[in-house]
Amino acid sequence: MKIENKLQSLGLTLLPVVKPIANYVPALKSGHLVFLSGHGPVKDNGQLITGKVGYDMSIDEGYEAARRVALALLSSLKAEINDLDRVARIVKLFGMVNCRPDFFEHPKVINGASDLLVELFGEKGKHTRSAMGMNSLPLNMAVEIEMIVEIA
């Protein structure tokens, strides 16, 4: 099944690609790898999801924010490679959670992105990953995730 059909069957749509807030590109292809810059969680209306997980929002809300980041990453990936069915493997996620110093549930938050990628790509969606807590993130976004993807 095509990835975009799977997205549609889940009631999800790709988001418009957000322009970078500084001097970088959202995605860069090098050989068979695509490196995706850190993306944040964006609502359907384009508004950034902000706040500290464990303080301003629950773990479940953080999980949903990370899921939204995965959609933003896939939007930038599609803009770079034109067809998400070219994905050979999701290689790595680097997830950052905006949280208080005493918050220790980072993996539960970043699972929002990981679970969606595995749901969409199956075995090709299983990846290496880091989940880190941060004192702050740009624009107070709740979650920021980078991704590396191998393409065919």
CA 13 to chain centre: 14
pTM over 0.85: yes
Query: pLDDT category, 7, cuts 50, 70, 90?
Result: very high
pLDDT of 18 higher than 90: no
User: 90, 3 in Cβ contact below 8 A?
Assistant: no
Domains of the chain (ranges; CATH) run 3-10+25-151 (3.30.1330.40)
Residues 28-44 have pLDDT tens digits of 999 999 999 999 999 98
* Residue 15 confidence (pLDDT): 83
Q: Name residue 128's beta-bridge partners.
A: 92
Residues 95-133 have pLDDT tens digits of 999 999 999 999 999 999 999 999 999 999 999 999 999
Residues 57-72 have pLDDT tens digits of 999 999 999 999 999 9
Query: For residues 71 and 137, what is the distance between their CA atoms, to the nearest angstrom?
Result: 19
- Residue 53 is given by DSSP the state B
